[in-house]
Amino acid sequence: MTESRRPDPETPSPQGDEYERMFERIADAVGGQLPGILREIDAAAVLLAEILGTPEPERRALLESGVRFHSLQLCQLLEERSREAWFSAPAQAVGLAQLAVAVAERLDEAHYGPLLAEDARASAWAHLGNAFRIAADLRQAEGALQTAEEHQRRSGEDAYTEAMISSFKASLRSTQGRYDEAARLLDEAIAVYRQARDRHEEGRALLKKGTALGHAGRHREAIRLIRRALPWIDLFQEPRLLVAARHNLIFFMTEGGRLQEAEESLAETRRLYRDLGERMNLVRLRWLEGKLARELGRLDEAETALKEARDAFLAEDIAIDAALVSLDLAIVYLQRGETAALRQVAAEIRPIFASGDVHPEAFAAVLLFQQAAEAEQVTRALLDQVAVRLQRTQASPVG
């Protein structure tokens, strides 16, 4: 078979003209497909509106019954909507990703080609896995990501899908406290984005790796990696990611005792938070200010900032963050030896966790804190341990 020979690329080949003719044929073929794809792109938005306008229990049946819904572009739009709901409405994100899976499973391989269809399935299952993780269903997350990997192996040609699965799996491993595994998976994603010359996504993966290692207590490595990520992040495309990166950098500087550096970085970053103008980011800024003030020994300033942040999270029913700020506040009272105030802090976060709509690990961690506060046996080590358990259950704003 002539195909398996390896000729010298420098030698002029008699196939040269054939290659030229091949390019002409390809240009004609893809040009012929373009109008159809453009029509599919336009139709997808209409189909999405139709699905979202249908009552939830009937959506799946609608998708399954109508061939017009079996569209790759619709599948991608459903994934996009699921991503948008990750942090604001995790249950909705799961529902949308399930619809994306339902569409992907019904894509016509004769129309799209088997590899593209398999790739779409891999991507849809990966989105479902990540949505399950954020919604605290780790068992289903694991299963969905495994299915994504199986489809990806059958497709195997879209490096972005491969990197996305690695990145989502890394987030799951971080949630499970398996930080080294998370870092290894993120190395795979980093290599893909570097090869694809996608600096922004490389920056995100570096930030995620730094954050995973930081949560493992490896603050120096975390700071180094996040610093490497910063120049790659495109401020104009995703200002929120840049704020998240600078926030995490300052957070790990504070955790690592590099207080002077943290204070200087915070002074440089304040404007970025304000320019972004998102209320919850400003609350997170207040939290960081309180934490840093506490470590610098400015306890009154810390108490004021942390109370403001905690009240804002409580008002928005953001349970995990409210609990984490409460733990920071508890450290202030512990340092002052104010046991009554400490008990009160523990009692104040109870109602929000009583709703039952929280991660079981988070609930257990809060219970441990409350029991220790009631027994007046709270120590700094216990508060740190509870904080680590709570942090794991958080959906990272990095994505």
Partner 1 sequence: MPEKPSDPLTQQDLDSILERLRPRIKELLRRYGCAPETAAGLIREAVIALMHRWSSVRDREQWLLDRIEKAVRRTMNSSSEEPRDDREPPS
Binding site for partner 1 (CB under 8 A): 1-7, 9, 13, 15-16, 18-19, 21-23, 25-27, 29-31, 33-34, 37-38, 41, 72-73, 76, 80, 83, 112-113, 115-116, 119, 156-160, 164, 195-198, 200-201, 237-238, 241, 399
CB atoms closer than 10 angstroms to residue 349: 24
**Cβ nearer to partner 1, comparing 66 with 114:** 114
**Cβ nearer to partner 1, comparing 159 with 368:** 159
> Shortest CA distance to 167 belongs to which of 227, 120, 140, 127?
127
CB of 242 to partner 1, least distance (A): 12
**Cβ nearer to partner 1, comparing 155 with 370:** 155
CB of 95 to partner 1, least distance (A): 19
CB of 37 to partner 1, least distance (A): 5
Q: Is the dihedral of CA 145, 148, 154, 157 positive or negative?
A: negative
Asked if 67 and 79 count as a contact pair (C-beta separation under 8 A), the reply is no
**Cβ nearer to partner 1, comparing 156 with 256:** 156
**Cβ nearer to partner 1, comparing 133 with 294:** 133
CB of 162 to partner 1, least distance (A): 10
**Cβ nearer to partner 1, comparing 22 with 91:** 22
CB of 168 to partner 1, least distance (A): 9
Whole-angstrom Cα distance, residue 253 to residue 288?
11
The torsion angles phi and psi of 118, rounded to 5 degrees, stand at: -65, -40
**Cβ nearer to partner 1, comparing 158 with 295:** 158
CB of 238 to partner 1, least distance (A): 5
CB of 79 to partner 1, least distance (A): 9
**Cβ nearer to partner 1, comparing 131 with 373:** 131
**Cβ nearer to partner 1, comparing 86 with 353:** 86
CB of 167 to partner 1, least distance (A): 8
CB of 352 to partner 1, least distance (A): 30
